[in-house]
Structure 1
Protein backbone atom coordinates (compact mmCIF):
# COMPACT_ATOMS: atom_id res chain seq x y z
CA UNK A 1 0.00 0.00 0.00
CA UNK A 2 2.76 2.44 0.94
CA UNK A 3 4.52 1.75 -2.37
CA UNK A 4 1.40 2.85 -4.29
CA UNK A 5 0.97 5.91 -2.06
CA UNK A 6 4.64 6.78 -2.54
CA UNK A 7 4.47 6.60 -6.33
CA UNK A 8 1.30 8.68 -6.39
CA UNK A 9 2.92 11.18 -4.05
CA UNK A 10 5.92 11.53 -6.36
CA UNK A 11 3.73 12.66 -9.25
CA UNK A 12 1.67 14.98 -7.05
CA UNK A 13 4.70 16.62 -5.47
CA UNK A 14 6.70 17.03 -8.68
CA UNK A 15 4.04 18.05 -11.17
CA UNK A 16 1.68 19.59 -8.63
CA UNK A 17 4.31 21.97 -7.29
CA UNK A 18 5.34 22.83 -10.86
CA UNK A 19 1.79 23.93 -11.73
CA UNK A 20 1.06 25.60 -8.38
CA UNK A 21 4.06 27.88 -8.72
CA UNK A 22 3.26 28.99 -12.24
CA UNK A 23 4.65 26.27 -14.47
CA UNK A 24 2.86 25.52 -17.72
CA UNK A 25 2.25 21.79 -17.84
CA UNK A 26 1.30 22.06 -21.52
CA UNK A 27 4.95 22.44 -22.52
CA UNK A 28 5.82 19.17 -20.78
CA UNK A 29 2.81 17.33 -22.17
CA UNK A 30 3.53 18.50 -25.70
CA UNK A 31 7.18 17.43 -25.56
CA UNK A 32 6.51 14.25 -23.57
CA UNK A 33 5.72 11.80 -26.41
CA UNK A 34 8.91 12.52 -28.34
CA UNK A 35 11.13 12.71 -25.26
CA UNK A 36 9.62 9.56 -23.80
CA UNK A 37 10.16 7.73 -27.08
CA UNK A 38 13.82 8.75 -27.09
CA UNK A 39 14.53 8.04 -23.42
CA UNK A 40 12.11 5.20 -22.72
CA UNK A 41 12.68 3.48 -26.05
CA UNK A 42 16.45 3.62 -25.72
CA UNK A 43 16.26 2.42 -22.10
CA UNK A 44 14.03 -0.53 -22.99
CA UNK A 45 16.22 -1.53 -25.92
CA UNK A 46 19.33 -1.24 -23.76
CA UNK A 47 17.57 -3.33 -21.12
CA UNK A 48 17.01 -6.03 -23.73
CA UNK A 49 20.66 -5.95 -24.82
CA UNK A 50 22.06 -6.04 -21.28
CA UNK A 51 19.98 -8.93 -19.93
CA UNK A 52 19.27 -12.52 -20.87
CA UNK A 53 15.81 -13.63 -21.94
CA UNK A 54 15.32 -15.35 -18.58
CA UNK A 55 16.25 -12.19 -16.65
CA UNK A 56 13.94 -10.03 -18.79
CA UNK A 57 11.00 -12.36 -18.14
CA UNK A 58 11.89 -12.56 -14.46
CA UNK A 59 12.14 -8.76 -14.17
CA UNK A 60 8.79 -8.21 -15.88
CA UNK A 61 7.19 -10.80 -13.62
CA UNK A 62 8.78 -9.23 -10.55
CA UNK A 63 7.01 -5.91 -11.14
CA UNK A 64 3.84 -7.33 -9.60
CA UNK A 65 5.77 -7.77 -6.32
CA UNK A 66 6.27 -4.03 -5.90
CA UNK A 67 2.93 -3.26 -4.26
CA UNK A 68 2.14 -6.37 -2.16
CA UNK A 69 5.77 -6.80 -1.09
CA UNK A 70 7.16 -10.07 0.25
CA UNK A 71 4.83 -13.06 0.06
CA UNK A 72 5.75 -14.34 3.52
CA UNK A 73 4.16 -12.73 6.56
CA UNK A 74 3.37 -13.81 10.10
CA UNK A 75 0.74 -16.32 8.97
CA UNK A 76 3.20 -18.05 6.63
CA UNK A 77 5.92 -18.13 9.30
CA UNK A 78 3.52 -19.61 11.84
CA UNK A 79 2.51 -22.32 9.38
CA UNK A 80 6.14 -23.00 8.49
CA UNK A 81 7.18 -23.40 12.12
CA UNK A 82 4.17 -25.63 12.79
CA UNK A 83 4.93 -27.78 9.75
CA UNK A 84 8.57 -28.16 10.71
CA UNK A 85 7.62 -29.01 14.28
CA UNK A 86 5.19 -31.70 13.15
CA UNK A 87 7.79 -33.22 10.84
CA UNK A 88 10.59 -33.12 13.41
CA UNK A 89 8.34 -34.49 16.14
CA UNK A 90 7.31 -37.39 13.87
CA UNK A 91 10.96 -38.13 13.11
CA UNK A 92 11.86 -38.02 16.80
CA UNK A 93 9.07 -40.28 18.01
CA UNK A 94 8.55 -42.65 15.07
CA UNK A 95 11.86 -42.55 13.23
CA UNK A 96 12.98 -41.20 9.89
CA UNK A 97 11.08 -43.84 7.92
CA UNK A 98 7.80 -42.43 9.22
CA UNK A 99 8.21 -39.30 7.09
CA UNK A 100 9.52 -41.02 3.96
CA UNK A 101 6.14 -41.08 2.22
CA UNK A 102 5.66 -37.39 3.04
CA UNK A 103 8.97 -36.21 1.61
CA UNK A 104 8.78 -38.43 -1.47
CA UNK A 105 5.31 -37.16 -2.40
CA UNK A 106 4.77 -33.91 -0.47
CA UNK A 107 1.86 -32.87 -2.68
CA UNK A 108 -0.02 -35.94 -1.47
CA UNK A 109 1.12 -35.66 2.14
CA UNK A 110 -1.51 -35.00 4.78
CA UNK A 111 1.16 -33.24 6.86
CA UNK A 112 2.15 -30.80 4.13
CA UNK A 113 -1.42 -30.25 2.96
CA UNK A 114 -2.42 -29.21 6.47
CA UNK A 115 -0.53 -25.98 5.81
CA UNK A 116 -2.00 -24.40 2.64
CA UNK A 117 0.12 -21.24 2.81
CA UNK A 118 3.27 -23.35 2.53
CA UNK A 119 1.86 -25.44 -0.28
CA UNK A 120 1.37 -22.29 -2.34
CA UNK A 121 5.15 -21.94 -2.64
CA UNK A 122 6.61 -24.89 -4.61
CA UNK A 123 10.21 -23.91 -3.86
CA UNK A 124 9.61 -24.09 -0.10
CA UNK A 125 7.99 -27.51 -0.35
CA UNK A 126 10.80 -28.82 -2.56
CA UNK A 127 13.46 -27.28 -0.32
CA UNK A 128 12.10 -28.96 2.82
CA UNK A 129 11.55 -32.32 1.10
CA UNK A 130 14.98 -32.38 -0.56
CA UNK A 131 16.95 -31.82 2.63
CA UNK A 132 14.83 -34.15 4.72
CA UNK A 133 15.43 -36.75 2.01
CA UNK A 134 19.17 -36.18 2.29
CA UNK A 135 18.88 -36.68 6.03
CA UNK A 136 16.92 -39.89 5.51
CA UNK A 137 19.57 -41.38 3.18
CA UNK A 138 22.38 -40.88 5.65
CA UNK A 139 23.69 -37.30 5.61
CA UNK A 140 24.02 -36.98 9.37
CA UNK A 141 26.68 -34.28 9.72
CA UNK A 142 24.90 -31.02 10.64
CA UNK A 143 27.76 -28.86 9.35
CA UNK A 144 27.82 -30.55 5.95
CA UNK A 145 24.06 -30.28 5.55
CA UNK A 146 24.05 -26.68 6.72
CA UNK A 147 26.73 -25.80 4.17
CA UNK A 148 24.67 -27.38 1.39
CA UNK A 149 21.56 -25.52 2.47
CA UNK A 150 23.45 -22.23 2.68
CA UNK A 151 24.72 -22.72 -0.87
CA UNK A 152 21.23 -23.26 -2.24
CA UNK A 153 19.79 -20.36 -0.24
CA UNK A 154 22.54 -18.05 -1.52
CA UNK A 155 21.96 -19.25 -5.09
CA UNK A 156 18.23 -18.57 -4.80
CA UNK A 157 18.91 -15.10 -3.42
CA UNK A 158 21.44 -14.33 -6.15
CA UNK A 159 18.99 -15.36 -8.87
CA UNK A 160 16.13 -13.45 -7.23
CA UNK A 161 18.23 -10.28 -7.18
CA UNK A 162 18.70 -10.32 -10.97
CA UNK A 163 15.49 -8.32 -11.39
CA UNK A 164 16.55 -5.51 -9.06
CA UNK A 165 20.01 -5.37 -10.64
CA UNK A 166 18.45 -5.11 -14.10
CA UNK A 167 16.19 -2.23 -13.08
CA UNK A 168 19.02 -0.48 -11.24
CA UNK A 169 21.17 -0.63 -14.37
CA UNK A 170 18.33 0.96 -16.31
CA UNK A 171 17.95 3.64 -13.63
CA UNK A 172 21.67 4.44 -13.82
CA UNK A 173 21.40 4.99 -17.57
CA UNK A 174 18.32 7.22 -17.49
CA UNK A 175 20.00 10.58 -16.65
CA UNK A 176 22.48 10.13 -19.51
CA UNK A 177 19.64 9.23 -21.87
CA UNK A 178 17.89 12.40 -20.71
CA UNK A 179 20.94 14.39 -21.77
CA UNK A 180 20.87 12.65 -25.16
CA UNK A 181 17.25 13.70 -25.61
CA UNK A 182 18.06 17.24 -24.48
CA UNK A 183 20.96 17.51 -26.92
CA UNK A 184 18.73 16.37 -29.75
CA UNK A 185 16.24 19.05 -28.67
CA UNK A 186 18.98 21.70 -28.73
CA UNK A 187 20.00 20.59 -32.23
CA UNK A 188 16.39 20.97 -33.30
CA UNK A 189 16.29 24.42 -31.69
CA UNK A 190 19.47 25.56 -33.42
CA UNK A 191 17.96 24.62 -36.75
CA UNK A 192 15.19 27.13 -35.98
CA UNK A 193 17.43 29.91 -34.72
CA UNK A 194 15.75 32.48 -36.96
CA UNK A 195 12.37 31.93 -35.34
CA UNK A 196 10.96 34.54 -32.92
CA UNK A 197 11.79 34.28 -29.16
CA UNK A 198 8.45 32.74 -28.21
CA UNK A 199 9.04 29.86 -30.63
CA UNK A 200 12.65 29.38 -29.51
CA UNK A 201 11.57 29.44 -25.87
CA UNK A 202 9.09 26.69 -26.52
CA UNK A 203 11.69 24.59 -28.34
CA UNK A 204 14.28 25.06 -25.58
CA UNK A 205 11.68 24.19 -22.96
CA UNK A 206 10.87 21.01 -24.86
CA UNK A 207 14.56 20.12 -25.00
CA UNK A 208 14.93 20.56 -21.24
CA UNK A 209 12.00 18.19 -20.72
CA UNK A 210 14.37 15.45 -21.90
CA UNK A 211 16.85 16.17 -19.10
CA UNK A 212 13.99 16.40 -16.60
CA UNK A 213 12.41 13.12 -17.71
CA UNK A 214 15.69 11.24 -17.56
CA UNK A 215 16.37 12.34 -13.99
CA UNK A 216 12.73 11.98 -12.90
CA UNK A 217 12.33 8.45 -14.26
CA UNK A 218 15.69 7.40 -12.83
CA UNK A 219 15.54 8.69 -9.26
CA UNK A 220 11.79 8.87 -8.67
CA UNK A 221 10.49 5.76 -10.44
CA UNK A 222 12.95 3.10 -11.60
CA UNK A 223 15.59 3.30 -8.85
CA UNK A 224 12.94 3.02 -6.08
CA UNK A 225 11.46 0.03 -7.93
CA UNK A 226 14.89 -1.61 -8.04
CA UNK A 227 15.40 -0.94 -4.33
CA UNK A 228 11.95 -2.29 -3.53
CA UNK A 229 12.56 -5.51 -5.45
CA UNK A 230 15.91 -5.96 -3.71
CA UNK A 231 14.26 -5.58 -0.31
CA UNK A 232 11.50 -8.04 -1.21
CA UNK A 233 14.04 -10.63 -2.41
CA UNK A 234 16.13 -10.33 0.75
CA UNK A 235 13.07 -10.53 2.99
CA UNK A 236 11.70 -13.62 1.25
CA UNK A 237 15.11 -15.29 1.36
CA UNK A 238 15.00 -15.21 5.16
CA UNK A 239 12.15 -17.74 5.00
CA UNK A 240 14.59 -20.44 3.94
CA UNK A 241 17.05 -19.60 6.71
CA UNK A 242 14.26 -20.48 9.15
CA UNK A 243 14.01 -23.92 7.54
CA UNK A 244 17.78 -24.33 7.67
CA UNK A 245 17.91 -23.48 11.36
CA UNK A 246 15.21 -26.01 12.25
CA UNK A 247 16.62 -28.93 10.26
CA UNK A 248 20.26 -28.43 11.24
CA UNK A 249 19.34 -28.00 14.91
CA UNK A 250 17.41 -31.27 14.80
CA UNK A 251 20.31 -32.99 13.09
CA UNK A 252 22.59 -31.72 15.87
CA UNK A 253 20.48 -33.69 18.33
CA UNK A 254 18.18 -31.08 19.82
CA UNK A 255 14.57 -31.81 20.76
CA UNK A 256 11.89 -30.62 18.28
CA UNK A 257 10.82 -27.78 20.59
CA UNK A 258 14.41 -26.51 20.85
CA UNK A 259 14.95 -26.82 17.09
CA UNK A 260 11.80 -24.80 16.40
CA UNK A 261 12.86 -22.18 18.93
CA UNK A 262 16.18 -21.84 17.07
CA UNK A 263 14.19 -21.42 13.85
CA UNK A 264 11.85 -18.85 15.45
CA UNK A 265 14.84 -16.64 16.22
CA UNK A 266 15.53 -16.46 12.48
CA UNK A 267 12.10 -15.01 11.69
CA UNK A 268 12.19 -11.27 10.81
CA UNK A 269 11.29 -9.23 13.88
CA UNK A 270 8.07 -7.79 12.45
CA UNK A 271 6.70 -11.28 11.77
CA UNK A 272 8.24 -13.23 14.65
CA UNK A 273 5.65 -14.77 16.98
CA UNK A 274 6.47 -14.57 20.67
CA UNK A 275 7.37 -17.71 22.58
CA UNK A 276 3.96 -18.21 24.20
CA UNK A 277 2.06 -17.62 20.96
CA UNK A 278 4.11 -20.24 19.14
CA UNK A 279 3.93 -22.64 22.08
CA UNK A 280 0.15 -22.45 22.01
CA UNK A 281 0.08 -23.19 18.28
CA UNK A 282 2.48 -26.13 18.61
CA UNK A 283 0.57 -27.63 21.52
CA UNK A 284 -2.43 -28.00 19.24
CA UNK A 285 -0.48 -30.26 16.90
CA UNK A 286 -1.04 -33.93 17.63
Structure 2
Protein backbone atom coordinates (compact mmCIF):
# COMPACT_ATOMS: atom_id res chain seq x y z
CA UNK A 1 0.00 0.00 0.00
CA UNK A 2 2.96 2.33 0.50
CA UNK A 3 3.62 2.15 -3.24
CA UNK A 4 0.09 3.28 -4.10
CA UNK A 5 0.04 5.90 -1.36
CA UNK A 6 3.34 7.33 -2.51
CA UNK A 7 2.13 7.49 -6.11
CA UNK A 8 -1.05 9.34 -5.14
CA UNK A 9 0.94 11.79 -3.01
CA UNK A 10 3.35 12.38 -5.91
CA UNK A 11 0.57 13.16 -8.38
CA UNK A 12 -1.27 15.42 -5.95
CA UNK A 13 1.90 17.40 -5.23
CA UNK A 14 2.94 17.74 -8.88
CA UNK A 15 -0.40 18.66 -10.41
CA UNK A 16 -1.79 20.34 -7.29
CA UNK A 17 1.15 22.71 -6.92
CA UNK A 18 0.98 23.53 -10.63
CA UNK A 19 -2.73 24.40 -10.41
CA UNK A 20 -2.30 26.26 -7.10
CA UNK A 21 0.41 28.45 -8.61
CA UNK A 22 -1.97 29.59 -11.33
CA UNK A 23 -1.06 27.11 -14.04
CA UNK A 24 -3.80 26.01 -16.38
CA UNK A 25 -4.50 22.29 -16.56
CA UNK A 26 -6.28 22.67 -19.90
CA UNK A 27 -3.17 22.20 -22.11
CA UNK A 28 -2.16 19.20 -20.00
CA UNK A 29 -5.57 17.57 -20.19
CA UNK A 30 -5.94 18.20 -23.93
CA UNK A 31 -2.46 17.01 -24.90
CA UNK A 32 -1.87 14.25 -22.35
CA UNK A 33 -3.83 11.43 -24.08
CA UNK A 34 -1.90 11.80 -27.35
CA UNK A 35 1.45 12.33 -25.64
CA UNK A 36 0.86 9.28 -23.42
CA UNK A 37 0.04 7.15 -26.44
CA UNK A 38 3.32 8.21 -28.05
CA UNK A 39 5.49 7.76 -24.94
CA UNK A 40 3.87 4.68 -23.43
CA UNK A 41 3.42 3.05 -26.82
CA UNK A 42 7.08 3.52 -27.65
CA UNK A 43 8.07 2.45 -24.13
CA UNK A 44 6.01 -0.75 -24.26
CA UNK A 45 7.38 -1.50 -27.71
CA UNK A 46 10.99 -1.15 -26.58
CA UNK A 47 10.25 -3.18 -23.43
CA UNK A 48 8.79 -6.01 -25.51
CA UNK A 49 11.75 -5.93 -27.91
CA UNK A 50 14.26 -6.08 -25.06
CA UNK A 51 12.71 -9.03 -23.20
CA UNK A 52 11.79 -12.61 -23.96
CA UNK A 53 8.28 -14.04 -23.74
CA UNK A 54 9.28 -15.80 -20.53
CA UNK A 55 10.33 -12.48 -19.01
CA UNK A 56 7.14 -10.74 -20.13
CA UNK A 57 5.05 -13.39 -18.35
CA UNK A 58 6.58 -12.23 -15.07
CA UNK A 59 5.41 -8.62 -15.47
CA UNK A 60 2.02 -9.11 -13.71
CA UNK A 61 3.78 -10.91 -10.89
CA UNK A 62 6.29 -8.08 -10.63
CA UNK A 63 3.50 -5.55 -10.11
CA UNK A 64 1.99 -7.83 -7.48
CA UNK A 65 5.37 -8.12 -5.76
CA UNK A 66 5.79 -4.34 -5.68
CA UNK A 67 2.35 -3.79 -4.16
CA UNK A 68 2.31 -6.74 -1.76
CA UNK A 69 5.88 -6.41 -0.52
CA UNK A 70 8.11 -9.16 0.96
CA UNK A 71 6.60 -12.63 1.18
CA UNK A 72 8.21 -13.66 4.45
CA UNK A 73 7.83 -12.33 7.97
CA UNK A 74 9.36 -13.07 11.36
CA UNK A 75 7.26 -16.20 11.93
CA UNK A 76 8.25 -17.58 8.54
CA UNK A 77 11.92 -17.37 9.51
CA UNK A 78 11.20 -19.05 12.84
CA UNK A 79 9.37 -21.86 11.04
CA UNK A 80 12.22 -22.35 8.57
CA UNK A 81 14.76 -22.51 11.39
CA UNK A 82 12.54 -25.02 13.15
CA UNK A 83 12.32 -27.27 10.11
CA UNK A 84 16.05 -27.09 9.44
CA UNK A 85 16.74 -27.90 13.09
CA UNK A 86 14.46 -30.92 12.80
CA UNK A 87 16.36 -32.29 9.80
CA UNK A 88 19.85 -31.59 11.13
CA UNK A 89 18.94 -33.07 14.51
CA UNK A 90 17.46 -36.10 12.76
CA UNK A 91 20.71 -36.61 10.83
CA UNK A 92 22.74 -36.24 14.00
CA UNK A 93 20.73 -38.76 16.01
CA UNK A 94 19.56 -41.28 13.40
CA UNK A 95 21.81 -40.76 10.40
CA UNK A 96 21.10 -39.56 6.87
CA UNK A 97 19.01 -42.65 6.09
CA UNK A 98 16.26 -41.23 8.33
CA UNK A 99 15.84 -38.35 5.88
CA UNK A 100 14.62 -40.53 3.02
CA UNK A 101 10.91 -40.59 3.89
CA UNK A 102 10.88 -36.81 4.19
CA UNK A 103 12.90 -35.76 1.15
CA UNK A 104 11.53 -38.30 -1.33
CA UNK A 105 7.85 -37.59 -0.62
CA UNK A 106 7.85 -34.14 1.00
CA UNK A 107 4.14 -33.56 0.43
CA UNK A 108 3.45 -36.57 2.64
CA UNK A 109 6.19 -35.83 5.17
CA UNK A 110 5.08 -35.19 8.73
CA UNK A 111 7.93 -32.71 9.11
CA UNK A 112 6.85 -30.61 6.12
CA UNK A 113 3.19 -30.96 7.11
CA UNK A 114 3.99 -29.16 10.36
CA UNK A 115 5.04 -26.16 8.26
CA UNK A 116 2.47 -25.92 5.43
CA UNK A 117 3.79 -22.61 4.07
CA UNK A 118 7.22 -24.15 3.51
CA UNK A 119 5.69 -27.33 2.12
CA UNK A 120 3.61 -25.35 -0.39
CA UNK A 121 6.54 -23.15 -1.41
CA UNK A 122 8.01 -25.19 -4.28
CA UNK A 123 11.34 -23.36 -4.33
CA UNK A 124 12.00 -23.69 -0.60
CA UNK A 125 10.73 -27.28 -0.46
CA UNK A 126 12.77 -28.42 -3.44
CA UNK A 127 15.89 -26.65 -2.25
CA UNK A 128 15.72 -28.27 1.17
CA UNK A 129 15.05 -31.71 -0.30
CA UNK A 130 17.70 -31.45 -3.02
CA UNK A 131 20.50 -30.44 -0.69
CA UNK A 132 19.54 -32.86 2.05
CA UNK A 133 19.59 -35.53 -0.63
CA UNK A 134 23.11 -34.45 -1.62
CA UNK A 135 24.14 -34.70 2.02
CA UNK A 136 22.65 -38.20 2.17
CA UNK A 137 24.85 -39.10 -0.82
CA UNK A 138 27.95 -38.33 1.25
CA UNK A 139 28.55 -34.80 -0.01
CA UNK A 140 30.11 -33.67 3.23
CA UNK A 141 32.65 -31.13 1.99
CA UNK A 142 31.31 -27.88 3.46
CA UNK A 143 33.26 -25.66 1.06
CA UNK A 144 32.04 -27.49 -2.05
CA UNK A 145 28.50 -27.65 -0.68
CA UNK A 146 28.56 -23.92 0.03
CA UNK A 147 29.84 -23.16 -3.47
CA UNK A 148 27.13 -25.23 -5.16
CA UNK A 149 24.34 -23.65 -3.11
CA UNK A 150 25.72 -20.15 -3.54
CA UNK A 151 25.80 -20.55 -7.31
CA UNK A 152 22.18 -21.67 -7.40
CA UNK A 153 21.05 -18.86 -5.13
CA UNK A 154 22.98 -16.32 -7.22
CA UNK A 155 21.40 -17.70 -10.39
CA UNK A 156 17.92 -17.48 -8.89
CA UNK A 157 18.47 -13.92 -7.71
CA UNK A 158 19.75 -12.85 -11.11
CA UNK A 159 16.71 -14.35 -12.82
CA UNK A 160 14.28 -12.88 -10.28
CA UNK A 161 15.73 -9.38 -10.57
CA UNK A 162 15.85 -9.40 -14.36
CA UNK A 163 12.37 -7.91 -14.65
CA UNK A 164 13.37 -5.10 -12.23
CA UNK A 165 16.39 -4.44 -14.46
CA UNK A 166 14.04 -4.30 -17.44
CA UNK A 167 11.87 -1.67 -15.74
CA UNK A 168 14.94 0.35 -14.81
CA UNK A 169 16.10 0.28 -18.42
CA UNK A 170 12.64 1.48 -19.46
CA UNK A 171 12.84 4.29 -16.89
CA UNK A 172 16.19 5.37 -18.35
CA UNK A 173 14.64 5.49 -21.83
CA UNK A 174 11.44 7.37 -20.97
CA UNK A 175 12.93 10.91 -20.83
CA UNK A 176 14.31 10.41 -24.35
CA UNK A 177 10.95 9.06 -25.53
CA UNK A 178 9.35 12.16 -24.00
CA UNK A 179 11.67 14.28 -26.13
CA UNK A 180 10.58 12.30 -29.17
CA UNK A 181 6.96 13.16 -28.40
CA UNK A 182 7.91 16.81 -27.84
CA UNK A 183 9.81 16.98 -31.13
CA UNK A 184 6.79 15.61 -32.97
CA UNK A 185 4.72 18.35 -31.33
CA UNK A 186 7.23 20.99 -32.44
CA UNK A 187 7.13 19.63 -36.01
CA UNK A 188 3.35 19.90 -35.92
CA UNK A 189 3.64 23.46 -34.59
CA UNK A 190 6.12 24.50 -37.28
CA UNK A 191 3.76 23.14 -39.88
CA UNK A 192 1.16 25.61 -38.61
CA UNK A 193 3.48 28.60 -38.27
CA UNK A 194 1.06 30.86 -40.15
CA UNK A 195 -1.59 30.54 -37.43
CA UNK A 196 -2.19 33.25 -34.77
CA UNK A 197 0.21 33.43 -31.77
CA UNK A 198 -2.41 32.25 -29.29
CA UNK A 199 -2.93 29.06 -31.34
CA UNK A 200 0.81 28.49 -31.69
CA UNK A 201 1.23 29.03 -27.94
CA UNK A 202 -1.24 26.24 -27.19
CA UNK A 203 0.48 23.95 -29.67
CA UNK A 204 3.93 24.60 -28.15
CA UNK A 205 2.53 24.02 -24.66
CA UNK A 206 1.09 20.72 -25.86
CA UNK A 207 4.47 19.73 -27.30
CA UNK A 208 6.24 20.43 -24.00
CA UNK A 209 3.80 18.09 -22.24
CA UNK A 210 5.68 15.23 -23.89
CA UNK A 211 8.96 16.17 -22.20
CA UNK A 212 7.16 16.67 -18.89
CA UNK A 213 5.47 13.26 -19.02
CA UNK A 214 8.64 11.46 -20.06
CA UNK A 215 10.55 12.81 -17.07
CA UNK A 216 7.63 12.29 -14.65
CA UNK A 217 7.07 8.69 -15.75
CA UNK A 218 10.78 7.90 -15.59
CA UNK A 219 11.77 9.36 -12.24
CA UNK A 220 8.41 9.52 -10.51
CA UNK A 221 6.86 6.16 -11.45
CA UNK A 222 8.80 3.53 -13.39
CA UNK A 223 12.17 4.12 -11.71
CA UNK A 224 10.79 3.81 -8.16
CA UNK A 225 8.77 0.78 -9.28
CA UNK A 226 11.93 -0.94 -10.51
CA UNK A 227 13.73 -0.18 -7.26
CA UNK A 228 10.79 -1.46 -5.21
CA UNK A 229 10.65 -4.74 -7.13
CA UNK A 230 14.38 -5.27 -6.76
CA UNK A 231 14.41 -4.52 -3.03
CA UNK A 232 11.52 -6.93 -2.36
CA UNK A 233 13.12 -9.70 -4.42
CA UNK A 234 16.46 -9.23 -2.66
CA UNK A 235 14.80 -9.33 0.76
CA UNK A 236 12.94 -12.53 -0.10
CA UNK A 237 16.21 -14.03 -1.34
CA UNK A 238 17.56 -13.81 2.22
CA UNK A 239 14.94 -16.39 3.25
CA UNK A 240 16.32 -18.97 0.82
CA UNK A 241 19.89 -18.09 1.72
CA UNK A 242 19.08 -19.06 5.30
CA UNK A 243 18.83 -22.68 4.14
CA UNK A 244 22.41 -22.48 2.88
CA UNK A 245 23.72 -20.88 6.07
CA UNK A 246 22.24 -23.51 8.38
CA UNK A 247 23.16 -26.56 6.30
CA UNK A 248 26.71 -25.33 5.63
CA UNK A 249 27.15 -24.59 9.34
CA UNK A 250 26.05 -28.13 10.17
CA UNK A 251 28.48 -29.60 7.63
CA UNK A 252 31.26 -27.57 9.22
CA UNK A 253 30.79 -29.65 12.35
CA UNK A 254 28.46 -27.49 14.41
CA UNK A 255 25.66 -29.11 16.39
CA UNK A 256 22.08 -28.36 15.19
CA UNK A 257 21.45 -25.79 17.92
CA UNK A 258 24.57 -23.82 16.98
CA UNK A 259 23.83 -24.14 13.24
CA UNK A 260 20.36 -22.69 13.79
CA UNK A 261 21.78 -19.86 15.91
CA UNK A 262 24.28 -19.02 13.17
CA UNK A 263 21.37 -18.95 10.72
CA UNK A 264 19.33 -16.70 13.02
CA UNK A 265 22.15 -14.17 13.06
CA UNK A 266 22.00 -13.98 9.26
CA UNK A 267 18.32 -12.94 9.18
CA UNK A 268 17.66 -9.25 8.32
CA UNK A 269 17.50 -7.21 11.53
CA UNK A 270 13.86 -6.06 11.22
CA UNK A 271 12.78 -9.71 10.90
CA UNK A 272 15.30 -11.39 13.19
CA UNK A 273 13.59 -13.36 15.97
CA UNK A 274 15.13 -13.39 19.40
CA UNK A 275 17.17 -16.30 20.72
CA UNK A 276 14.34 -17.12 23.13
CA UNK A 277 11.75 -17.26 20.33
CA UNK A 278 13.82 -19.69 18.29
CA UNK A 279 14.80 -21.75 21.33
CA UNK A 280 11.16 -22.10 22.32
CA UNK A 281 10.19 -23.12 18.79
CA UNK A 282 12.85 -25.85 18.46
CA UNK A 283 12.41 -27.13 22.01
CA UNK A 284 8.80 -27.96 21.18
CA UNK A 285 9.81 -30.18 18.25
CA UNK A 286 9.56 -33.92 18.57
CA UNK A 287 12.41 -35.75 16.82
CA UNK A 288 11.01 -39.23 16.31
TM-score of the aligned structures, taking structure 1 as reference length: 0.98
Aligned equivalents of 2:26, 2:74: Cα separation in 1: 48
> Secondary structure at the residue paired with 1:127?
helix
Moved more, 178-187 or 116-125: 116-125
1:180 to 1:267, Cα distance in 2 relative to 1, 3 A: same
1:120 aligns to what? 120
Aligned equivalents of 2:120, 2:255: Cα separation in 1: 28
2:272 aligns to what? 272
8 Å contact from structure 1 (residues 59, 162) kept in 2: no
2:69 aligns to what? 69
Moved more, 145-154 or 104-113: 104-113
2:224 aligns to what? 224
Q: Deviations over 1:141-194 (max 9, x none)?
A: 111111100000000001011011100110010000000000000111111112
Q: Does 1:177 align with 2:187?
A: no
Gaps of 5+ in 1: none
1:8 aligns to what? 8
8 Å contact from structure 1 (residues 140, 251) kept in 2: yes
* 1:3 CA drift (Å): 1.6
2:209 aligns to what? 209
* 1:119 CA drift (Å): 2.3
Q: Deviations over 1:45-101 (max 9, x none)?
A: 011111111111123321111111111111211111111111111111121111111
Aligned equivalents of 2:192, 2:253: Cα separation in 1: 82
1:18 aligns to what? 18
* 1:39 CA drift (Å): 0.4
* 1:104 CA drift (Å): 0.9
8 Å contact from structure 1 (residues 59, 164) kept in 2: no
TM-score of the aligned structures, taking structure 2 as reference length: 0.97
Gaps of 5+ in 2: none
> Secondary structure at the residue paired with 1:229?
helix
Superposed, 1:101-180 pairs within 5 Å as: 101-180=101-180
> How many equivalent pairs are there?
286
Aligned equivalents of 2:184, 2:243: Cα separation in 1: 55
* 1:235 CA drift (Å): 0.8
**Two-structure CA RMSD over aligned residues (Å):** 1.0
Aligned equivalents of 1:120, 1:27: Cα separation in 2: 53
* 1:264 CA drift (Å): 0.6
> Secondary structure at the residue paired with 1:270?
helix
Q: Deviations over 1:5-62 (max 9, x none)?
A: 1111111111111111112112111101110111000000011111111111123321
Aligned equivalents of 1:20, 1:113: Cα separation in 2: 59
